[in-house]
Amino acid sequence: AAGNGAGTGQSFSGIARGAQLMAVQVFSRFDNPNDCGGSAPCIMAWSSDIIAGLERVYALRASRTFASANLSLGGGLFSSYCDGEPYKPIIDNLRAVGIATVIASGNDGATNAISSPACISTAISVGSTTKSDTVSSFSNVAPILSLFAPGSSITSSVTGGGFGAASGTSMATPHVAGAWAILKQAGPGATVTQTLSALQSTGVLLTDARPGGSVTKPRIRVAQALAALLPDASPPTVSITTPASGATVSGTAVTLSATAADNVGVAGVQFKLDGTTNLGAEDTTFPYSVAWNSTTATNGLHTLTAVARDAAGNTTTSAGVSVTVNNTGPALPDVIVTALSYAGGVFTSTVKNQGTAATPAGIAIGVAYSVDGVYRTWGSVTGPLAAGASVTIGTKGGAYSIPGGTHTITAFADDVNRFAESDETNNKLSRPITIP
């Protein structure tokens, strides 16, 4: 346990590499099978010895910079805080002077209880996880658990030299004790509560998926906890990778992408047009990209930037990338009816080409004439009709006598779509007419 908490080695090292350790012996050998609950001899600890060990740490606090007291031990099962246990006063005293008492939750595989003294409300109780970030089969877990840490198949130093692998909440607990040493060194003024909050708020939330399990608790992430505990004044870096500077873009789905990095982690990247207009929502997931509808921008030169943000609120704006927006469509005609009259059974209309290209040569520009929404006759001329030009189109399909009364007459230019137009929705003109 000590090795994976603070050990230093060529092949393996602990969490708080190079931290100093003070060993306190609290275990005793028991030779009576009745004391051991089975075969003897066995190793156990009296509650009084555990308390005396913690009191020893408290007594030396002025001469040693203690971050935590690691207790890879425990017994019994408690589903709620066990503050009636005799360990509570010394754990409280240690916490009051900034020393965390980090205790293994136990290895009974319980899904709603942890061992004592881990169940003390002011202790830091630790459950075990596997390399695949699941709760270890043996770990005790309960709603009162403080944290998870790796505890399955942990390689550490062994008695006599060398390394070996072991599993248990006793292997998980030193990970937290070592993390506490790192955080204590970086933020010596932080309280136990503040340090615990940093570990809990930045940890990966894991839910006990074993049969009967439901508890969700954080698995520690030391770097993130360190960033949460200390002010982060380092802004991220960011640069746009797509499109390239000088590119011409068009269409409704132009891909914008950027790379970003931060000493702790990038919280999100927001793309901007000309420094003010947000292009889509902030992308909070790598790779950072957005699809931009460039038709919402005017044609011409624009500047794209990306703003990266970290969790501390530091931001950096990338160098600008100049692009030319060109959403000008192909040159097309656009015929409209500008005037409509009726006399003596004959319809007459004026058709104008307000597009940017002439109508096709040899293709008729037809007009359908209707009365009260019912087609009655037609007229046409043969193209081309130059852009900006107008033409008068009469009746070729035979005269039609409108009965007396008030009616609505309509002229519909290019009603059968003989040629493509830039706007296919503006080809009609209607007006009322009264026939005596």
Tell me: domain 2-229, CATH 3.40.50.2000, correct?
Answer: no
The tokens 């026939």 sit on which residue?
A: 435
**What distance in Å separates the CA atoms of residue 185 and residue 191, rounded to the nearest whole number?**
12
Which residues are within 8 A (CB) of 189 and not within 5 positions of it... i.e. 6 or more apart? none
Give the pLDDT confidence score for residue 12 in this predicted structure: 53
- DSSP reduced 3-state for 15: coil
Token pair, residue 271, equals 């793309």
- DSSP reduced 3-state for 63: coil
Give the pLDDT confidence score for residue 13 in this predicted structure: 61
**What distance in Å separates the CA atoms of residue 384 and residue 397, rounded to the nearest whole number?**
21
**What distance in Å separates the CA atoms of residue 183 and residue 196, rounded to the nearest whole number?**
10
Tell me: domain 335-435, CATH 2.60.40.10, correct?
Answer: yes
Which residues are within 8 A (CB) of 17 and not within 5 positions of it... i.e. 6 or more apart? 6, 7, 8
- Does 2-229 match 237-325 in CATH topology? no
Pairing status of strand 374-382 against strand 364-371: antiparallel
Is residue 192 a contact partner of residue 99, using CB atoms and an 8 Å limit?
yes
Token pair, residue 25, equals 């012996």
Residue 426 dihedral angles phi and psi, to the nearest 5°: -120, 30
Beta strands in 163-279 (DSSP E): 163-166, 204-207, 216-219, 237-242, 248-249, 254-261, 266-273, 277-278
Beta strands in 384-435 (DSSP E): 390-393, 405-413, 428-435
Residue 397 dihedral angles phi and psi, to the nearest 5°: -90, 15
Domains of the chain, by residue range, sit at 2-229, 237-325, 335-435
What one-letter code names the amino acid at 92? D
84-90: long-range contacts, CB 8 A cutoff, minimum separation 24? 85/47, 85/116, 85/117, 85/119, 85/120, 86/47, 86/51, 87/47, 87/50, 87/51, 87/54, 87/116, 87/117, 87/120, 87/123, 88/120, 88/121, 88/122, 90/51, 90/54, 90/55, 90/58
**What distance in Å separates the CA atoms of residue 319 and residue 241, rounded to the nearest whole number?**
11
Q: 259 pairs with which residues across the strands?
A: 239
Q: Distances in Å between the alpha carbon of 269 and those of 56, 247, 282, 307?
A: 51, 21, 5, 5
Q: Distances in Å between the alpha carbon of 266 and those of 28, 92, 232, 263, 316?
A: 51, 38, 12, 8, 11
Low-confidence residues of the chain: pLDDT under 50: 1-8
Helix axes 169-186 and 222-229, enclosed angle (nearest 10): 30
Pairing status of strand 124-129 against strand 147-150: parallel
Give the pLDDT confidence score for residue 159 in this predicted structure: 82
Provide the 10 A C-beta neighbour count for residue 361: 9
Q: Distances in Å between the alpha carbon of 395 and those of 70, 168, 342?
A: 101, 97, 10
Write down the pTM of the prediction: 0.55
Residue spans of alpha helices (H) in 8-156: 33-36, 47-59, 88-96
Give the pLDDT confidence score for residue 7 in this predicted structure: 46
**What distance in Å separates the CA atoms of residue 168 and residue 129, rounded to the nearest whole number?**
9
Tell me: domain 237-325, CATH 1.10.3720.10, correct?
Answer: no
**What distance in Å separates the CA atoms of residue 328 and residue 280, rounded to the nearest whole number?**
23
Task: Return mean pLDDT, the chain.
Answer: 94
